[in-house]
Structure 1
Amino acid sequence: MMKNYNKSYLSSLLLGSLALSAIGFTAQASAVTIENSGFENNWDGWADTDPSAISSDSYTGNRAAKITGSSGAFEQTVAVTANTQYELQAYIKGSGTIGAIVAGTSHSASGGGSSYEAVTVSFNSGSATQITLFGQYGSGEGRFDDFSLTETSEPVDPGDGGTTPPAGGQCSTSAELTIVSASDNGTNDGHGPANTIDGDLSNESRWSSNGSGKQITFDLGAEATVDAAQIVWFKGNTRVSYFDIDTSVDGSSWDSAVVSGQSSGTSSSYETVDGFNAQARYVRITGYGNSSNTWNSIIEAKLLGCDQGDIDGGTNPPVEPPTQPPVTGIDLSDWYLGVPVDNNGDGKSDSISENDLVAGYEHPQWFYYAADGGLVFKAPIDAPKTSTNTSYTRSELREMLRRGDESISTQGINKNNWVFSTYSSGDKSAAGGIDGELVSTLKVDYVTTTGSSSQVGRVIIGQIHAKNDEPARLYYRKLPGNSLGSIYLAHEPNGGSDQRYDMIGSSSSSASNPSDGIALGEVFSYSIKVVGHQLTVTIMRDGKADVVQTVDMSNSGYHDGSDQYMYFKAGVYNQNNTGDADDYVQATFYSIVNTHDGYNY
C-alpha cells in the first residue's frame, strides 16, 4: 500500500515526543546471563572483529579472548531491565577496553597490566531493555576473561520522577542535565568552548586548546547532583586523551572528581566517565594533551545527574532520558544491513538479517542508536566492502519485502522485491509490491574531508537499486571549504551512463558554497517515488519550499521484461576511497518509511 506524506506528517515524525514505557519493579538484584562469558567455547555467543583470537593464557579456565590490533573487538547483546544500575566487570591482561552500548551511548573503562586485573564499568540502563557489551583494543595487545554483569540497584519507576538522590548524593536514576554555558580562558585556537554543547558532532564543531593544563568549564546554571560526564573526543578513535575532572558549587573552590583520566583511544562516539556523585554547579575538565601531541580537543560534552530543580533561584530541570527509536520512525522488519566489518572472514562486509535487526543488533562504531533516538550509520574509507567489484564502503539498509522469510530468495522478481506498474501482469503478480516510495528524515553528521577533489565530501543517502544498475542515487555533498552541502540526483539507465540532476547547490568538485544548502547536522527529509515510468525525488525542509526533480524513465531500459526487479536502500554509502583510511561519512536517520501498492505493511 502506497501512502501520501505531507509536511505536517513529516514534522510529526521528526518533532514528536518520545514516550517512555511504564516500568515495573522486580524483587532483588541479580546477575545477567552472558553467554560464554569466559570464552571456554571459543567465540560462541560473541561477534568478533579481527585481529582477534582465542588464547590459552587465561585468568580462569583454559581460554581467554585476545585482541592484537587497533580494529580488533568483540561484542554480545544481552537483555537488561530498564532504569536499573549495572556494573560490568572483566579481567584484562596487557591492555584493553571493556564497555556497554546503552541506547547508542558508550560506557567504557580501560585497564590491564602484566597480570590479569579487574576492570569495571558502572552505568544505568535508562529506557533500554537490550544493550551491547564489548571488549576492544586498548594501547597494546590485550587478553580478556570472565565477563560479568550485575544489577546494583532495583529498577526505578519513571513515574516517580527518578530525580531525588539517596543519602550520600548518588542518583538512583541519571538524566541528562542542561548545560547553560561553556567557557575557557580564551587560549583556544578559534574552536571555542560553546562548540562542545551545540549538539553538532562534526569535527569542525569542537573546542581545541594547545598545552598541558588547559581547561574548559561547564555551567549548569543551578546546583545539581552530577554523577557522570559523556565526552566525544576529537580523533577519539585514533588517540588517547589525558584529563582530570573537578566540580564546584561556587566556581571558586574545586573538588576532584576524576584524577588521571584517559579516553579509550578507540571510540569516535560518546565515552562515559562516571562515579562523581558530586553536588555542583560547575564541572571543569583539565586536559594534559593526548598520545599524539599536546592538543586538548573535545567535540561534544554532556553531564548526567539528578535533583536539579529550583535551587537558589535556578530553574534547570533534567532532560528526560531518550528512548530508542520512535515507534513510528524505523521498522527494521523489512530491511537487512550491510555493515563495514568482516566477522565471518569471507573477505566481504557482513550482512545482518532482518531478524537480527529486529532482535536489536547494533555495532558500537558503524550502526547504533544515538542518545536522541536516531539511528546512526557510519562508514570509514578503509573497511570491508560488499564484494570485490565494489569500490566503496557502506553502512546501509537493503529493502527486504520478504520480512525474514528466508525461503524467498533475495534476488529476482519475487516477493522480496518490487516492480514498476508498467511491467507485465505476470511480473506484477509475482513481485512483492508495485511502484514505490521511500520517505526518510535524517541529518548528515559528517562527510570526508580528505582525498581527491572529485570524491571528497560526498555520500549516497538513498537509492533505488535494480538488478545491476541504480535508477536513483541521492547524494549529499559538502566540500571542505564550504559551510553548506548540496543535494543531487543520479539516474543510471539500464547499462548506460549516469544522468545527473542538481537539486540544491551544485555537484561540481569546485562548487561555491550553496546559498540554500544544507548544513551538517541540519535535519531534512527526502522522498524517492516511482509511479510507472516517472521517477520523482523531493527534498523537504521546515519553513522552506520543497525542491522537486522528475525523471522520465520511459527510455531507461527498465521496462523491457528482462528480470529488472527493484529495491530501496537507505543509510550511508561512502563515495570516497582516496582519503585517509580513518576518514568517514556519518548520518543519523529518524524515520525510514517504504511503501508499495500491493504491499500491506
Structure 2
Amino acid sequence: MTYSPIKLIYLALIIFFTLHSCKNPGGESKQKTEVTADIGKTQKLVYASEVTPFFDDWKLILGDGSNAGIANNFEHKDFFYTVNDGKSNWVVYKAPNAGNTHGTSNNTRTELAQAKKWYPKTANDKLTATLKVMNVSSTGDARVASTHSVVVGQIHSADGHENEPLKIFYKKFPSHNKGSVFWHYEINTAGDDNSGRWDYSTAVWGNDFSVVGNEENTYPDEPKDGIALGEEFSYQIEVKEGIMYLKFMSDGHETKSFTKNLINSEYANKAEIPEQTQKLFVPIGQDGVERISAYTGEGLFFKLGSYNQTNGKSPEVNKNWCSGAETHGGDIQKQYADGNYAEVWFKTASISVSDSAVSNQGYFTKND
C-alpha cells in the first residue's frame, strides 16, 4: 500500500499528538505524588518530648484538671501539642479561663509538675526555659491584679500549706502592645491558718502585679520596657543551699538577676509587711506573717507551662485573684474562639535534679 505525501504528514501528526497526550497524565501524576509526599513530610507529627526531651522528670497536668502522667510521645489537641513557626519547633501549653481545675486552685493550667521534690537547705536544683507568650485572656476586670496574666514557671511546696515561693508571671492589658514580666514570692504562713498568706511582686520588665486599671475596662499606661506577645524571653531558676537565684534574659532588654533566701524569713513580723502588700492584700484580710524558717524542711518542686491566672469568679470574692472574665459556662472551644485563654510556647527547657531529691508522689495523691 502506498501513501501520498499529504497522508504521510497527517499520520505523523496523529502519532505525535497521541504519544504526547499519553505522556502528560503520567507526568502530572508523578508531580502530584511528589507534592503529596512533601506535604506528608511537613505534617509529620512531632511530639513535645522530641522538642524538650526531659519529660521523664515531670507529670503533665492538663487544662481539664486531669493528670496525663509522664508525657513522652503524648499530645492533646486542646491543651498540649507542638507547632513550627517556620524556624523552630515549639511546645504549646494552652489553658482556658474556666474548666475543671487541679487540686484546690480556682484556675486552669496545662503545666508540668516535677515528679521529685527537694529541700531548699540542701538543694542544688535548676530549671531553665526559653518561651514566648502567645495569648492572655481578652476579658476580665482590669482592677483585679491577676487579670490578663499567666504564670509560666513556679516553685511549689509539696508539704505544709503547699504555698509557692516562686511564680513567674506575664501580664498584658488588651489595649497594650507590650506586657510585663514579674515574679512573686508567697509567704509560707506561720501557724495552721493559711488564709492570711500574701504575695510580694517584683518587676523584671515592665510593671509588677500591683499596677491595675482604675475602672473595669480602663487600663494603666503601657510599660515602655515591656515584652510583646510572641516575643521570646528566657528564665533560669537555681536553688542552692537555701538561696534562690533568678536570671531573666531577652534580646533588646536588660538582663535581670535576683536572689531570695528561702530558709530565713524577712516577713516574720507585722512591721515587716511591705507597702505593696499593705495596699493590695491587707485590706482584704490577707495580713499574715511568715514562719521564721520560711520554707525550711518542706519539699519543693518546679513547675513549667501555662497556669492561667484569669478566671470567671466575681471580684467581690477576692479583688486580687477573681477576674470576672468570660468563661462561656466552661465551654472550652467557645473560650478559645474569642480569646479567653492563656497560651504559652516553649522552645527549649532543661532541668537539673540533685541526688538528694525524693519522690513527689504524695503531692499528686493528695491533689489528683
Return the TM-score normalized by structure 1: 0.40
- Distance in 2 of aligned mates of 1:579 and 1:513: 21
Instruction: Name the one with the larger strand percent.
Output: 1
2:246 to 537, 551, 555: 537
Matched, 1:461 2:152: yes
**Any stretches of 5+ residues in structure 1 without a counterpart?**
1-163, 176-303, 307-318, 342-348, 401-415, 424-433
Matched, 1:363 2:72: no
Tell me the amino acid that sits aligned with residue 131 of structure 2.
L
* 1:334 equivalent in structure 2: 57
Matched, 1:497 2:198: yes
1:417 to 117, 142, 145: 117
In the TM superposition, 1:559-598 aligns within 5 A as: 559=293, 563-577=297-311, 578-581=324-327, 582=335, 583-598=340-355
The answer (yes or no) to whether the contact 1:442–1:588 under 8 Å persists in 2 is: yes
Give a deviation string over 1:445-485, Cα, whole Å, max 9, x none. Answer: 10001011113310000000012100000000011121011
The DSSP-based 3-state class of the residue aligned with 2:178 is coil
**Any stretches of 5+ residues in structure 2 without a counterpart?**
1-26, 190-196, 214-219, 266-289, 312-323, 328-334, 358-368
Percentage identity across paired residues of the two chains: 27
- Distance in 2 of aligned mates of 1:596 and 1:563: 18
Q: CA deviation at 1:534?
A: 2.2
- Distance in 1 of aligned mates of 2:179 and 2:173: 7
* Greater Rg by CA: 2
Q: CA deviation at 1:594?
A: 1.4
Q: CA deviation at 1:320?
A: 10
Deviates more, 1:449-458 or 1:471-480: 449-458
2:101 to 378, 385, 390: 385
The DSSP-based 3-state class of the residue aligned with 1:469 is coil
- Distance in 2 of aligned mates of 1:374 and 1:457: 22
Tell me the amino acid that sits aligned with residue 393 of structure 1.
T
- Distance in 2 of aligned mates of 1:165 and 1:382: 51
The answer (yes or no) to whether the contact 1:464–1:567 under 8 Å persists in 2 is: yes
Name the CA shift for 1:419/1:305 in 2 (closer, same or farther; >3 Å): closer
The answer (yes or no) to whether the contact 1:330–1:591 under 8 Å persists in 2 is: no
2:137 to 427, 443, 448: 448
Tell me the amino acid that sits aligned with residue 198 of structure 2.
S
Name the CA shift for 1:324/1:543 in 2 (closer, same or farther; >3 Å): farther
Give a deviation string over 1:185-227, Cα, whole Å, max 9, x none. Answer: xxxxxxxxxxxxxxxxxxxxxxxxxxxxxxxxxxxxxxxxxxx
The answer (yes or no) to whether the contact 2:98–2:108 under 8 Å persists in 1 is: yes
The answer (yes or no) to whether the contact 1:395–1:571 under 8 Å persists in 2 is: yes
Give a deviation string over 1:432-457, Cα, whole Å, max 9, x none. Answer: xx232210111101000101111331
Name the CA shift for 1:305/1:326 in 2 (closer, same or farther; >3 Å): closer
In the TM superposition, 1:62-211 aligns within 5 A as: 166-167=29-30, 169-175=32-38
Give a deviation string over 1:318-358, Cα, whole Å, max 9, x none. Answer: x89785558573411111111122xxxxxxx110111xx12
* 1:470 equivalent in structure 2: 164
- Distance in 1 of aligned mates of 2:111 and 2:292: 24
* 1:352 equivalent in structure 2: 68
2:181 to 487, 511, 516: 487
- Distance in 2 of aligned mates of 1:366 and 1:338: 10
- Distance in 2 of aligned mates of 1:165 and 1:523: 43
Instruction: Name the one with the larger helix percent.
Output: 2
Name the CA shift for 1:471/1:562 in 2 (closer, same or farther; >3 Å): closer
Tell me the amino acid that sits aligned with residue 305 of structure 2.
G
Name the CA shift for 1:320/1:592 in 2 (closer, same or farther; >3 Å): same
Q: Which has the higher contact order (CA 8 A, sep 6+)?
A: 2
Name the CA shift for 1:565/1:483 in 2 (closer, same or farther; >3 Å): same
- Distance in 2 of aligned mates of 1:374 and 1:591: 8
The DSSP-based 3-state class of the residue aligned with 1:542 is coil
Tell me the amino acid that sits aligned with residue 98 of structure 2.
D
RMSD of aligned Cα (Å): 2.8
